[in-house]
Structure 1
Amino acid sequence: MFTQAVRRAAILAAIAVGASMAVVGSPIEAAAFDDAGECATLLLDAANQAGVSGSSTIVSDQGYESCSVRFDDGLKRTVLKAAMASLAGCPPWWANQEGVVATTFHGDDAWTRGPAGDKWSERSFVWCSFDDPEYQFSVETTVFDAATYGGAADPLPVAEQLWSLAQDRLPFGPAGADVPPTDSEMPPGSTPPGDTDSYPIAEGDYTTDRYGWMYFTTPDGKSCGMAANGGPVGCDAVAADAPPDVNQTYVAIWAPAEYRYSDTATFTADVDVLPVGQQLQIIGSSCAVTAFDTVRCETGGEHGFILSADSSVFW
């Protein structure tokens, strides 16, 4: 989805500055990441104290508003995440799915799920803490060869370490600080900060008989699509604060994103939902779903948009 020049996607329209990503070998220490902020350092320290193993780690840090770390150990994976609840959602988007158990964690709302297949096993533990601002935390453990390694590890010991450290370190900053400007305020030639390099490529049915196009729907029902070689890329949807008489969000390689009106649906097809935290790539264009109601799309010409239910950012 992203070339090296354009692989920048945010968790939502209100992502803080200072995104970074790095890969190092084990053992993992926060000091190994020159650009790791307080958020990622919290996750790294919690993982180390819990004894999480991994031969490599991917760290994504969007300031105090969101961060994630990923540990890979052969066919085993552990991922820790923290994000302001206004970005990530509390409860999580999958809270009502079959097999999810609602519970509590140190007096806070929490949810667990543990889908398993013939070849893989996954367990997730998510909880929400603090009031101003509220944060969502998650620990996910996955085994991609359950027959050999058994089921995924219990995420609760890692969650306990993360909860303990978070009591002393969070919140990192005042709610609303370092929020990127809106589309009307975005300086010419600038791009909202963010990073979805760690997002996996989605597996599903996202193509039709229309050559050179990919389509998807978002978890909240937006229909979006992208053409190869720089677009167009867009959604047959607009934010709540869009001007009247528009029904599309649109961007192409040669010009900044914009709202427009179309008599026909350009970006709608009968395809699968693109899950939160996953991305799609096509030559010169890219899209990632960064939250239940938010999608970020870019073209190879450094133009793109972030579209959520309430607002948008264009560049």
Structure 2
Amino acid sequence: MGRVTERRRVIRIRDGAVSERADTLVAEEPLEIRLDGKPLAITMRTPGDDFALAAGFLVSEGVLGSADELRNIVYCAGATADGTNTYNVVDVSTAPGVVVPDITLERNVYTTSSCGLCGKASLDAVRTTARRPIDDDPGGTGAPPVRLTPELLARLPDRLRASQRVFDRTGGLHAAALFTEDGDLIDVREDVGRHNAVDKIVGRALQEGRLPLARTVLMVSGRASFELAQKAVMAGVPVLAAVSAPSSLAVDLAAETGLTLIGFLRGSSMNVYAGEHRVALRTAAARA
């Protein structure tokens, strides 16, 4: 399997002093995702959690919605002269009876580590229909609605940053973390692409039978794009928080689906763009 980091020679200049050293860089390699033996997409990713990445990708595409719809995932032989397995090709087999949406079959594109939706034909095609609405009480147990305090939200970026082990060595990775509504860390994944990090979170949850991810908070490094908002909705995540800005389409999607979208979450400051009913705004105003 590919390495998460690699070493490269670098010329370092500091205050006019020149030196030569080895630097640790985050690895970036292509991963081809095949669906039932047919090529579907190629994404640039950091090796590791490849099966979870593929499964999460298919959740966001509307192909998979529960663990029983996934038969298995295997590595395929890579395209090397001697037939050596490069671990850069995975094949996802769906269970009998799973219907693949037409927009997924039409995708078959190359995506970069910064854009997972390049090649989508239109905005209408990218608005994948969610399997289920966002619901704070999907089991009908009478649980109260999710209500997050600004103080709890303010602690999440530091908790995410403290869990980024590879970032500490490279400074070049995005991350996604899943928290409970009480702020407890459930899972964290790193990748050169922020959409891949989210796919790894969602894919792991699918494999473990934990979808939908009700009563959770998805925290991402960087901005909140339409694609990340879509992935949150498809996984049933009620709250998406980002350290940077959301896009206008991400806000529109959040408003349409009931997703709580928070941007510029830095220290005690944040902007709530949609779904403010899950944030204890009155408490914050009273304290102010």
TM-score with structure 2 setting the length: 0.23
**Normalized per residue, which structure has more helix?**
2
TM-score with structure 1 setting the length: 0.22
